[in-house]
Amino acid sequence: MIVDSAEVDPTARIGDGTSIWQLAQVRESAVLGEGCIIGRGAYIGSGVQLGNNCKVQNYALVYEPAHLEDGVFIGPAAVLTNDVYPRAINPDGTRKSGTDWEPVGVTLRTGASVGARAVCVAPVTIGAWATVAAGAVVTKDVPDFALVAGVPARRIAWVGKAGVPLTEDGPGEWACPATHARYRENDGVLTAVEHTSAVENNEETR
List the CATH number of the domain containing 83.
2.160.10.10
Average pLDDT, integer, range 140-149? 98
pLDDT at 204: 43
Written as one letter, the residue type at 83 is: D
User: Rounded CA gap, 62 and 175, in Å?
Assistant: 33
pLDDT at 12 over 50: yes
Question: What is the DSSP code (8-state) at residue 89?
Answer: B
User: Rounded CA gap, 99 and 78, in Å?
Assistant: 26
Percent of the chain past pLDDT 70, that is, above it, reads: 94
Buried b (16+ CB within 10 A) or exposed e, 14-39: bbeebbbbebbbbbeebbbbebbbbb
Name the nearest CA neighbour of 42 among 72, 80, 16. Answer: 80
Q: State which residues form the domain around 195.
A: 160-206
Number of domains observed in the structure of the chain? 2
73-77, 97-101, 189-193, 196-200: the lowest-pLDDT one: 196-200
pLDDT at 199 over 80: no
pLDDT at 198 over 70: no
Q: Is residue 2 in a domain?
A: no
Higher-confidence residue of 1 and 10: namely: 10
4-18, 55-69, 167-181, 185-199: the lowest-pLDDT one: 185-199
pTM beyond 0.85: the answer is yes
Q: Is residue 1 in a domain?
A: no
> Do residue 126 and residue 184 come from a single domain?
no
Bridge partners for 92 per DSSP:
none
pLDDT at 21: 98
